[in-house]
């Protein structure tokens, strides 16, 4: 695990953690593939617990260079609890190796709700892995007044202006979960040599997503001319889900 804090854990369930007014400058984080384990990499947290009431990052930034395999986030690599990111940004650089997944702010936040409020990514993300402006993979998402302006590119995988994949919990009976992207946008250039490109989101699976007063103006570019960008160019794939576009 690679980050300012390699992990965060608690003595008892229900505790919380807050990081505020933190800046990371002129730093380099590198995560190397070792054996059967991919690293989690984030400039603040490499990984977080699944037992916290919530974890909050407020008024923080990084301009670090991050490189490696595994799950990569500009601020947080792998998150296991409810997380709130507000008034924070990443303006560094991210370089992904093949099979990596990277988000400008968060790599993977698949266990609980991720809130991203008044925050942005301007870091360029490039390499062999998937790339997303704010978060690579989430379960339930609430994004408001946030954006990506960084250039996102991948030689081997998919690219999304804001969120790579929103994955609902696979269980029966299904419990309804709702995600919202509100007054948020992408202006970064999006490029993939072989994968899907979503102006805001690549995949929505098993959940409901509302996109409200949000847009993508980033240029789309790939090596093939027959790719389908779907749903007004904002979302590529919808499976067992409901998508509402509201202006």
Task: Choose among 19, 11, 6, 98: nearest CA to 61.
Answer: 19
Reported as a single tens digit per residue, the pLDDT across 158-181 is: 899 999 999 877 655 556 678 999
Q: Tell me: the pLDDT tens digits for 182-222? A: 999 999 999 988 888 888 999 888 788 899 999 998 777 65
Task: Report which of 136, 130, 99, 134 is spatially closest to residue 195, judged by C-alpha positions.
Answer: 130
**29-38, 73-82, 136-145, 234-243: range with lowest mean pLDDT:** 234-243
User: Exposed, middle or buried by CB within 10 Å (0-12, 13-18, 19+), for 44?
Assistant: buried
Q: Which residue has the higher pLDDT, 69 or 85?
A: 85
Tell me phi and psi for residue 239, to 5 degrees: -135, 125
Strand 147-148 relative to strand 16-20, pairing: unpaired
More confident residue, 78 or 171: 78
């Amino acid at each position: 695990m690679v980050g300012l804090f390699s992990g965060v854990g608690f003595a008892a369930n229900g505790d919380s953690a807050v990081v505020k007014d933190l800046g990371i400058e002129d730093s380099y984080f590198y995560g190397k593939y070792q054996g059967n384990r991919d690293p989690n990499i984030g400039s603040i947290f490499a990984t977080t617990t699944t037992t916290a009431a919530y974890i909050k990052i407020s008024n923080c930034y990084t301009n670090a260079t991050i490189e490696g395999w595994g799950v990569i986030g500009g601020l947080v690599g792998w998150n296991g609890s409810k997380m709130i990111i507000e008034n924070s940004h990443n303006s560094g650089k991210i370089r992904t190796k093949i099979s990596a997944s990277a988000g400008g702010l968060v790599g993977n936040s698949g266990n609980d709700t991720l809130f991203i409020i008044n925050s942005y990514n301007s870091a360029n993300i490039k390499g062999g892995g998937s790339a997303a402006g704010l978060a690579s993979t989430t379960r339930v998402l609430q994004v408001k007044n946030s954006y990506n302006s960084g250039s996102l590119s991948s030689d081997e995988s998919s690219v999304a202006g804001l969120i790579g994949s929103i994955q609902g919990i696979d269980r029966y009976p299904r419990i309804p979960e709702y995600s919202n992207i509100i007054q948020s946008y992408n202006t970064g250039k999006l490029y993939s040599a072989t994968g899907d490109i979503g102006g805001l989101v690549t995949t929505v699976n098993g959940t409901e997503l509302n996109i409200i007063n949000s847009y993508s103006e980033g240029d789309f570019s790939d090596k093939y001319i027959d790719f389908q960008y779907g749903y007004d160019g904002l979302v590529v794939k919808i499976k067992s889900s409901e998508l509402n576009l509201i202006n």
